[in-house]
Amino acid sequence: MDHVIAALSGVFLAAAIYLLLSRALIRMLLGLVLLGNAVNLLILVAGRLGRIVPPIALDGANAPSAGAANPLPQALILTAIVIGFAMFAFLLVLAYRTYQSLEADDTDRMRVAEPRGGPKPPMSY
């Protein structure tokens, strides 16, 4: 099962890179969400997915049993999900405001610093 989840993480990563290389802002945001989910799945696989032994230390033991899943990656993933959702919400509002002010979703048409027909920068020094 770990290999299947790791392969799914790779598919998510490939799709995220494809979407991040797009010129549309919404596709970039969806690529960022997929990238976060791919990394979360990869961390989850690194901490083992077994349900055989719960990650609980018994009385008198300093650590859980040998076959137990590691609880630290699971806690890190929960934190990453919350941070990723907050970042996505912020970037979604930022993209919406950008679309309202520039009336463009395509990054090639968002030319505020270098408008078309403006003076060209020097080509040599």
DSSP 102-118: H---BTTT--SSS-TTS
Domain that holds residue 82: 2-54+67-102
Residue 119 lies in a domain: no
φ, ψ of residue 24 to 5 degrees: the values are: -85, 140
Residue 9 lies in a domain: yes
* Residues β-bridged to residue 24: 106
7: domain CATH number is 1.10.287
The per-residue pLDDT for range 38-87, each reduced to its tens digit, is 999 988 888 776 666 666 777 777 776 666 777 788 888 999 999 999 99
45 near 13, Cβ under 8 Å? no
**What pTM value is reported for the model?**
0.74
Residue 125 lies in a domain: no
pLDDT at 100 over 80: yes
